């Protein structure tokens, strides 16, 4: 897949000098643009959501396998499973920022590679083999989210992009629901052909991932101008949108000043801190929800389908919030994060304080109410508030790296010796979500201060030194709150 921005620059070289970039909005037919965006949504978003869903299934299905024989069959002892759950994030973290900086295109074959690793996981015979496959899976998945994120940023405008990235987190929530259903069905194959049910789980989900990878190779266009589902009129509008979006770095040279600017920005670090706290909760919840429900006294197969409505609830709430952002204060992401994050706080408090099974199960719904909203909207919040391709790439990379560092912690907090109530795990998760909400409030104040300061400079007629750099520091650029 070629870089859309590079294509835009080549096209820009033949544009008449009388057609400045800012005038594109005047020559784009709004009706054609609506058709274009609608077709992108119908043809691209479902495939991208399935890829995200598959990737999250492949990393978290170890939690379903845990309660159905994996620990016993591989002879795991003590904290072995916790280490296996966490080690995925070692290679994931190590390679995510480099991928974010150098990735010029999304390669669907990433899905093929992680599907093969998932299948191989079904063949492991010991602890060492499990660690090896988890490390390889982390390496394969490290390029997936940056690739999907970058791909979306090249085909959608700034306002359109946020909602589409949110759909990746909808897919993450749905992956838990589908994962529970798949596990419930597949684990009943326990003993078929002499193979344990948890091994069948890895085989079948790996094959599903492989099929999705093949579909992605043939179904995702390199650029919107080459999309097989667009007519010539729509491709022309796509071409104009690409020119409008093109920035000064279109020659493909990495702009190291933007990289340094991202690392020096307090807002990038605060965004990462939000993601760190949120992902400790999200990743531990995704892997250990079957374990938490097992601690309530339920049996193995019943555990699998009891996870399904919890994840579905999280997905529905997230979808409602994303859609409502078009109608109610679209850009104020901090409000949604703070309000729904409080539901998650209450959920963890109940998991710590209550001993009643019904209350504990209800608390799981409260936890998932805010988790996907917090982690999903935070990603789009920083992505929409950073201008400059490489600064944005590094900012999102920092966000995800700090978030995935939380994944290492997430794998260690639900320990066997703390069963069945897992007070340590619930307490760490509660502290993590409170940290994320505090960082959200701080980031809101930073953005609000910057907006007020910029408005004052505009009113005073101060010269904008950053406007030519296409920088978010320009006094004409207002941060979303």
Q: What's the confidence (pLDDT) of residue 8?
A: 40
Question: When comparing pLDDT for 242 and 266, which is higher?
Answer: 266
pLDDT, mean over the chain? 85
Residue 82's pLDDT band (cuts 50, 70, 90): very high
d(CA 59, CA 134): 8
Kind plus residue range of the DSSP H or E element containing 195: none
d(CA 79, CA 58): 21
Flag whether pLDDT at 12 surpasses 50.
no
Flag whether pLDDT at 405 surpasses 70.
yes
Residue 13's pLDDT band (cuts 50, 70, 90): very low
CATH 3.30.450.20 assigned to 39-224+254-458:
no
- Contacts of residue 361, Cβ cutoff 8 Å, sequence gap at least 6: 293, 296, 306
Q: If we measure between CA atoms, which residue out of 395, 481, 473 comes closest to residue 444?
A: 481
Residue 22's pLDDT band (cuts 50, 70, 90): very low
Distances (CA, A) of 11 to 157, 219, 225, 229, 340: 18, 25, 11, 21, 45
Flag whether pLDDT at 21 surpasses 90.
no
* pLDDT one-digit tens code per residue, 106-149: 667 888 999 999 999 999 999 999 999 999 999 988 888 878 87
d(CA 180, CA 219): 28
* pLDDT one-digit tens code per residue, 342-388: 999 999 999 999 999 999 999 999 999 999 999 988 988 898 888 88
Distance from first CA to last CA of the chain, Å, rounded?
Answer: 34
Q: If we measure between CA atoms, which residue out of 457, 160, 169, 177 comes closest to residue 306?
A: 177
Q: What is the mean pLDDT of residues 49-65?
A: 91
Q: What is the mean pLDDT of residues 224-250?
A: 77
* pLDDT one-digit tens code per residue, 465-476: 655 556 788 888
Give the residue ranges of DSSP H helices in 231-332: 232-245, 256-263, 266-294, 300-324
* pLDDT one-digit tens code per residue, 300-325: 788 988 999 999 999 899 889 888 88
d(CA 211, CA 249): 36
Kind plus residue range of the DSSP H or E element containing 74: none
Q: What's the confidence (pLDDT) of residue 282?
A: 94
Q: What's the confidence (pLDDT) of residue 157?
A: 81
Contact 383, 162 (CB under 8 A): yes
Both tokens of 307, joined, read 């996870």
Q: What's the confidence (pLDDT) of residue 100?
A: 62
Q: Does residue 107 sit in helix, strand or coil?
A: coil
- Contacts of residue 231, Cβ cutoff 8 Å, sequence gap at least 6: none
Flag whether pLDDT at 53 surpasses 80.
yes
Residue ranges of domains in the chain: 39-224+254-458
Q: What's the confidence (pLDDT) of residue 10?
A: 39
Residue 211's pLDDT band (cuts 50, 70, 90): very high
* pLDDT one-digit tens code per residue, 410-428: 999 999 999 999 999 999 9
Q: What's the confidence (pLDDT) of residue 66?
A: 92
Q: What is the mean pLDDT of residues 91-111?
A: 75
Contact 18, 252 (CB under 8 A): no
d(CA 81, CA 429): 19
Flag whether pLDDT at 78 surpasses 60.
yes
Q: What's the confidence (pLDDT) of residue 103?
A: 59
Flag whether pLDDT at 168 surpasses 90.
no
Flag whether pLDDT at 398 surpasses 80.
yes
- Cα dihedral 190, 286, 304, 358 in deg (nearest 10): 150
The sign one gets for the Cα dihedral 219, 222, 224, 228 is negative
d(CA 186, CA 200): 7
Q: What's the confidence (pLDDT) of residue 26?
A: 54
Both tokens of 439, joined, read 């960082």
Among 34-38, 117-121, 190-194, 312-316, the range of highest mean pLDDT: 117-121
Q: If we measure between CA atoms, which residue out of 281, 414, 292 comes closest to residue 344?
A: 281
d(CA 437, CA 433): 6
d(CA 173, CA 425): 21
Question: When comparing pLDDT for 325 and 261, which is higher?
Answer: 261
The sign one gets for the Cα dihedral 219, 224, 226, 231 is positive
Q: What's the confidence (pLDDT) of residue 329?
A: 59
d(CA 456, CA 461): 9
Q: What's the confidence (pLDDT) of residue 104?
A: 53
Flag whether pLDDT at 409 surpasses 60.
yes
Q: What's the confidence (pLDDT) of residue 230?
A: 87
Q: What's the confidence (pLDDT) of residue 360?
A: 97
Residue 11's pLDDT band (cuts 50, 70, 90): very low
């Amino acid at each position: 897949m070629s870089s859309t921005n590079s294509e835009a620059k080549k096209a820009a070289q033949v544009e008449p000098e009388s057609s400045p970039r800012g005038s594109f909005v005047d020559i784009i037919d709004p009706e054609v643009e609506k058709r274009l965006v609608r077709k992108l949504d119908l043809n691209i978003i479902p495939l991208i959501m399935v890829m995200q869903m598959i990737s999250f299934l492949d990393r978290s299905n170890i939690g379903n396998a845990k309660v159905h024989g994996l620990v016993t069959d591989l002879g795991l002892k003590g904290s072995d499973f916790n280490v296996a759950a966490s080690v995925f994030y070692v290679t994931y973290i190590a390679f995510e920022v480099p991928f974010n900086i150098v990735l010029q295109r999304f390669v669907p074959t990433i899905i093929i590679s992680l599907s093969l690793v998932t299948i191989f996981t079904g063949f492991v015979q010991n602890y060492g083999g499990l660690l090896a496959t988890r490390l390889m899976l982390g390496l394969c998945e490290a390029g997936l989210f940056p690739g999907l994120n970058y791909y979306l940023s090249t085909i959608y405008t700034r306002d359109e992009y946020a909602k589409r990235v949110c759909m990746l987190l909808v897919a993450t929530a749905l992956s838990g629901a589908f994962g529970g259903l798949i596990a419930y069905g597949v684990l009943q194959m326990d003993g078929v052909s002499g193979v344990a049910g948890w091994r069948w789980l890895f085989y079948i989900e790996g094959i599903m991932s492989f099929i999705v990878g093949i579909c992605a190779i043939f179904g995702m266009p390199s650029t919107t101008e080459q999309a097989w589902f667009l007519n010539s009129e729509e491709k022309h509008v796509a071409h104009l949108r690409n020119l409008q979006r093109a920035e000064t770095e279109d020659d493909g040279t990495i702009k190291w000043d933007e990289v340094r600017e991202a690392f020096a920005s307090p807002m990038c670090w605060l965004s990462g801190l939000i993601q760190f706290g949120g992902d400790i909760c999200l990743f531990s919840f995704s892997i250990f929800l079957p374990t938490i429900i097992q601690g309530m006294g339920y049996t193995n197969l019943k555990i699998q389908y009891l996870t399904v409505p919890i994840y579905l609830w999280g997905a529905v709430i997230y979808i409602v919030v994303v859609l409502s952002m078009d109608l109610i204060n679209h850009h104020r992401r901090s409000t949604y994060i703070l309000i729904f994050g409080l539901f998650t706080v209450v959920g963890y408090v109940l998991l710590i304080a209550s001993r009643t099974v019904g209350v504990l199960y209800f608390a799981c719904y409260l936890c998932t109410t805010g988790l996907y909203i917090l982690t999903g909207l935070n990603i789009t919040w920083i992505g929409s508030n950073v201008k400059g391709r490489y600064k944005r790439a590094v900012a999102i990379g920092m966000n995800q790296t700090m978030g995935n560092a939380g994944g290492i912690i997430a794998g260690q907090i639900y320990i066997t010796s703390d069963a069945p109530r897992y007070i340590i795990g619930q307490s760490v998760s509660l502290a993590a979500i409170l940290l994320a909400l505090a960082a959200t409030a701080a980031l809101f104040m930073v953005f609000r201060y910057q907006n007020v300061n910029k408005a004052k400079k505009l009113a005073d007629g101060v010269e904008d030194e950053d406007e030519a750099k296409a920088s978010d520091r320009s006094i004409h650029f207002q941060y979303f709150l």
